[in-house]
């Protein structure tokens, strides 16, 4: 069975500082990895995904994530955080050839302060 | 880009009544739609997967007679919460699957904006 772990319930960072939101996964095949962001009372917005190829994936709003197969991680990063980045972030995985269902992590609340 | 319209965004209903939530893919055909339930500050729990023209596949522990899912066309899926009770109050989100290009890696997901259901 596939699973995703987001070890931090909340991450606090000062505006202008780099941010990292952690994600590790466990799958039995090749993973397709996703990051989504959710603002209060809204659906999920796509940020980026890793399918294959370059391990560093660049996405929307200046976010990027690095796929690390040996550490089974897919941490989300941004060089300089904005207050408007404050939201709930979800990592998700889908296994190639394992159906189309996404498995989500428990979410990490990012708070960016002035 | 791909857009999924979900409505209503917010609904309050009396205990014992039924509520229908609609999810439409506006500019693409979604052969598969997913319905999730989200509790406060919690992750998304997949309730069921619906494929156009066939019966929905429910996750373990989800009552299929209570959460009726219909996917009658390639652009519309509905979730009906029957005989709603206060414990059904939650945030429900749909997601439509789409394929862009060839290869399974081009499989993407577009989410609706969610429905806040409050049962009083």
Tens-digit pLDDT string for chain B (120 aa): 788 999 999 999 999 999 999 999 998 888 889 999 998 777 889 999 998 888 899 999 999 999 999 988 889 999 999 999 999 999 999 999 876 655 555 668 999 999 999 999
Whether A72 contacts A23, CB under 8 Å:
no
Question: How many CA atoms within 13 Å lie on the side-chain side of B29?
Answer: 6
Instruction: With CB atoms and an 8 Å threshold, state whether B49 touches A41.
Output: no
Q: How many CB atoms lie within 10 A of CB B15?
A: 12
User: What's the rounded Cα separation, in Å, for the pair B97 and A112?
Assistant: 32
Instruction: With CB atoms and an 8 Å threshold, state whether A46 touches B110.
Output: yes
Q: Report the pLDDT averaged over residues A104-110.
A: 94
Instruction: With CB atoms and an 8 Å threshold, state whether A41 touches B93.
Output: no
Q: How many helices (H) and strands (E) does chain A have?
A: 0, 12
Q: Residue A27: phi, psi to the nearest 5?
A: -140, 165
Report pLDDT for B106: 61
Q: Where does the pLDDT of residue A33 fall: very low under 50, low under 70, confident under 90, or very high at 90 and above?
A: very high
Report pLDDT for B52: 83
Whether B70 contacts B77, CB under 8 Å:
yes
- Give which of A61, A81, A95, A74 is closest to A19, Cα–Cα: A81
Distances (CA, A) of B83 to A27, B14, B15, B24, B86: 38, 9, 7, 24, 10
């Amino acid at each position: 069975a596939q699973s995703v772990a987001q070890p931090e319930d909340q991450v606090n960072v000062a505006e202008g500082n780099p941010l990292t939101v952690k994600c590790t996964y466990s799958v039995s095949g090749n993973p397709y990895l996703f990051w989504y962001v959710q603002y209060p009372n809204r659906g999920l917005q796509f940020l980026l995904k890793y399918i294959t190829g370059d391990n560093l994936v660049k996405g929307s709003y200046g976010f990027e994530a690095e796929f690390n197969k040996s550490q089974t991680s897919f941490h989300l990063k941004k060089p300089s955080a904005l207050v408007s980045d404050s939201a709930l972030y979800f990592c998700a995985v889908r296994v190639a050839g394992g159906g189309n269902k996404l498995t989500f992590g428990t979410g990490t609340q990012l708070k960016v302060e002035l | 880009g791909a857009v999924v319209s979900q409505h209503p965004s917010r609904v309050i209903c009396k205990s014992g009544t039924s509520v229908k939530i609609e999810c439409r893919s506006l500019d693409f055909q979604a052969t598969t739609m997913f319905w999730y339930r989200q509790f406060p500050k919690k992750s998304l729990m997949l309730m069921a997967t619906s494929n156009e023209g066939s019966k929905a596949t429910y996750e373990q522990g989800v009552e299929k007679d209570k959460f009726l899912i219909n996917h009658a066309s390639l652009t519309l899926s509905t979730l009906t919460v029957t005989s709603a009770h206060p414990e059904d109050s939650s945030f429900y989100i749909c997601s439509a699957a789409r394929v862009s290009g060839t290869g399974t890696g081009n499989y993407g997901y577009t989410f609706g904006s969610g429905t806040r259901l409050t049962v009083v």
